[in-house]
Amino acid sequence: MINLVKQVVRLLVFGNVWVSFAAVCLYWETALLHDLKISVNLSACVFGATLFTYNYHRLFRKNRIYSGVTSPRHQWILDHTVGLTVLAIFGGVLSVIAFLPFLSKEILLRFAPFAWIAVFYVIPVIKWNGVWRRLRDLPFLKVGLVSAVWAATTVLLPFLCLDPDWHPTAKVWLTFTTRFVFIFAITIPFDVRDMEQDRSANVLTFASQFGIDGIKQVSRILMLGVALAGFAGYWMGWYSAGQGLGLLCSAAGTGWLISGLNAQSDEWFYSGFLDGSMIDQLFWVWLLGLFI
C-alpha cells in the first residue's frame, strides 16, 4: 500500500500533474481578486496546456539533456517516457478542446507571443556566439520568460477569453506584476536544482553568478514585494483586507520555505513544496477573503 502511494505521488509530481493543478489555482485566484466567474472550460484549458507544456519540455531531447545528469527525477523521466507521452498528448488535446469556445483571431494574435515562448523554450532557435541555443539557454532570461508566460496565462488570458478586445486596467496590471514577481521568486531557486545541467550547457544563470545565499536573498526581497503589492491593492480599494492579508501570508510562508534552500534540497522541495506554494497562495487569498 505504501509503495502504491509513493508511486502515485511520484506520478503526480514528476508527471507534472501537481504543477498543472497549481496553474489552475492561480487562475482561480485571479477570478477571486477580480470577481470573475470561474470557467470550467478555461480551468481545463489551463490545466491541459500546462500538463502538455511541462511534459513536452521533459521529453524533448531527453536522452541528450539527461545523459550526464543523474537524479531520481531524471531517472524517473527516462523510465516513464511512455507515460509522460500519454500525459502530454492528453493535456494537449484537452487544452485545445476546452479552448475552442474562446477561439478567435484576436485572442490568437494577442496571446501568440506567450504561446510561442512556451513552445520554443526548449528548441534551439537562436544562434548565440556561433551556437544554436534554446530560449532557456540565453543568459539570465529563462526565469523571466517562465514568469511572463505564467503571469499572462493566469492573469491576462481569463480577461481575453471574456472579451478579445479587452485592455488591462491598473488593477489588472497590479495583479499581473504581483503574479510575475511571485513566480520569479519561486522559479529562481530552480536554478540551483538545474545548476549542473546549465553548467554543462554553458548557460549563465542567477545561481551560477550569485550563489545559493544570493538566490535566497533575492527571492525573499521579491516576496516582500508581493506582500507590499497586497497592501497596495487593499489601500487602493482593489482588494479586500482579507485578500491583501492572504497575499502577505503567502509571501511570508513562501519566503520562509525558500530560506531552507540548500545544495542538498531534493526534487520534493522544488516540484513539491515550491510549486505547491501557488496552491497555498490561493488558499490564503480565498480563506481570509471570506472572513475579512
pLDDT of residue 285: 97
Question: What span, in angstroms and rounded, lies between the C-alpha atoms of 132 and 130?
Answer: 7
- Domain carrying residue 221: 2-291
244 neighbors 213 (Cβ within 8 angstroms): no
Q: What is the pLDDT of residues 235-278, one digit of tens each?
A: 999 999 999 999 999 999 999 999 998 888 888 888 889 999 99
226 neighbors 251 (Cβ within 8 angstroms): yes
CATH number of the CATH domain containing 113: 1.10.600
**Secondary structure class of 239 (helix, strand, coil):** coil
Tens place of pLDDT per residue across the chain (292 aa):
777 888 888 889 889 999 999 999 999 999 999 999 999 999 999 999 999 999 988 887 655 555 555 667 777 787 778 889 999 999 999 999 999 999 898 998 999 888 888 877 766 666 666 666 666 666 667 888 899 999 999 999 999 999 999 999 999 999 999 999 999 999 999 878 877 666 666 666 777 778 889 999 999 999 999 999 999 999 999 999 999 999 999 999 999 999 998 888 888 888 889 999 999 999 999 999 988 8
What is the tally of structural domains in the chain? 1
pLDDT of residue 182: 97
